Amino acid sequence: MSGLTDSIAQFVATGMAVPESAARIVRTGFTDTIATMIAGRDQAVVGIVRRFVDERRSAVMQARVLFGSLRVASADAALINATAAHALDYDDVALGGHPSTVLVPALLAEGERLEASGADAIRAYLVGYEVWAELLSREPDAYHLKGWHPTAVLGTVGAAAAVAHLHRLSPLACGNALALAASMAGGLVANFGTMTKPLHAGRAAACAIEAVRLAALGLTAAPDVFEHHAGFLAALSPKGRARREGAAAHLGKHLRILESGLSIKQYPMCYATHRVIDAVLDLAAAHDLKAEDVRQVDASIGVAQASMLRNHNPVTGLEAKFSLEFAVAAALVARKVGLAQLTDSFVGQVAVREAMAKVTIATVDTVCPIEPVFALNDGVVIELNDGRRLDAGAIRFARGNARLPLSEADLEAKFLDCTKGAEDLDAASLYRQLAQLGEQGSLRGLGNGGVPA
């Protein structure tokens, strides 16, 4: 039996058959990520990254930036596009992180350079997703509690696997690309609530492309990067509990994407807040609550969730994305938690700040077997000034979760809402193209009415 790294490299080189049930999930990932990418195009962090890329623009313009007219080198396009896709924290969730926000921009950019088809991109996405899932499954301890952002550390390697498959590299070159990407991976939870968090996704996508390009040119790397005692899994597992031995023999045969799926966000907030937001919105609507009616809100969440939600007194919209206090306050004050509420001015409103002060947070030491970064259930109890106690009960899944999915109409509505400010884009046409991604002859035709750019 071959070793872990070699077996993963063999899978990356070979790929797998793509059932329609999996392709449908992937199409959703592409569609939702492009929506959030376009919605994030005017964020300050995206502007900073664009200026960074402008300073080193290649003479060969290989891929489009944010579906506009600007073309840059594919790694730079992936850097900007993935940063934009993650800038609003509105992108999909699975595997302890945000897989599509890394995989999709990397594949769009390098796929455009290679003139890959939509079917090629779907298959490559699955390869990347499955490699990410395999590596995640080998570490029993929560990455977030150790300080690692899975989107950054696992996403870099997963995206390298996807791009390597798109390049049709040999198993040897795939192994080198994966090992090189493993050395490029990094991203800290301490940076949540700052501009650096979306940059994690941008760097992961860009590094994936750079790793594959270097490996294709012959750059070598460790042939045992995953199982080595000083390799990738060992480095990310300070307790030494990562399962480093044994081949990944089932890769491509038992698709984890059909188990985990993709959870589509309803709110542009850290996903750790979503179950509580659902509960507060439901209770507020059912009892016609006003923020001033509430004496106290008691929320219970998991330990890893609480670790991510570090901002207890946010003063900016960016900080508020990682504040459960703000999430509850917005739900009570505005009865919405959307892009309009994630602004500095809304966070600073007196009513919002008064509502935040009414929130208490307790942690529960349970673990969801499906999404280990979360508690089995979240809880919300709202105490009113008149003495009533409103209990939401055990909140299992947020709306939009892979096990409580949004309707096709809701997915389209989110896409069109995210893209409504992009006047240079025919959003409805692009949505239809993405719904039939597997039939697209070239990724260059996306957003161009099917005509390659």
Q: What is the pLDDT of residue 52?
A: 63
Domain residue extents for the chain: 4-260, 271-391
296: buried, middle or exposed (CB in 10 Å: 19+, 13-18, 0-12)? middle
Which pLDDT value is given to residue 58?
A: 56
The domain covering 4-260 belongs, at the CATH homologous superfamily level, to 2-methylcitrate dehydratase PrpD (1.10.4100.10)
Closest-CA residue to 72 (of 88, 49, 45): 49
Q: What topology is assigned to 271-391 in CATH?
A: 60s Ribosomal Protein L30; Chain: A; (3.30.1330)
Separation of alpha carbons 307 and 305, rounded Å: 5
The pTM of this model reads 0.87
211-258 pLDDT, tens per residue?
A: 999 899 888 999 999 999 999 999 999 999 999 999 998 999 999 999
| Residue-averaged pLDDT of the chain | 93
Q: Tell me what percent of the residues of the chain surpass a pLDDT of 70.
A: 97
CA distance 451 to 430: 12
| pLDDT at position 57 over 70 | no
Q: Is the pLDDT of residue 448 over 90?
A: no
Nearest to 324 by CA among 374, 269, 372, 365: 269
- pLDDT tens, position by position, 94-123: 999 999 999 999 999 999 999 999 999 999
Q: What is the pLDDT of residues 134-175, one digit of tens each?
A: 999 999 999 999 999 999 999 999 999 999 999 999 999 999
Which pLDDT value is given to residue 45? Answer: 78
Q: What is the rounded distance in angstroms from the CA atom of residue 229 to the CA atom of residue 223?
A: 13
Which pLDDT value is given to residue 399?
96
Residue 371 has pLDDT above 90, yes or no: no
The band of 386, judged by pLDDT with boundaries at 50, 70 and 90, is very high
Share of the chain above pLDDT 90, in %: 85
Burial class (CB in 10 A: 0-12, 13-18, 19+), 310: middle
How much is the pLDDT for 198?
A: 96
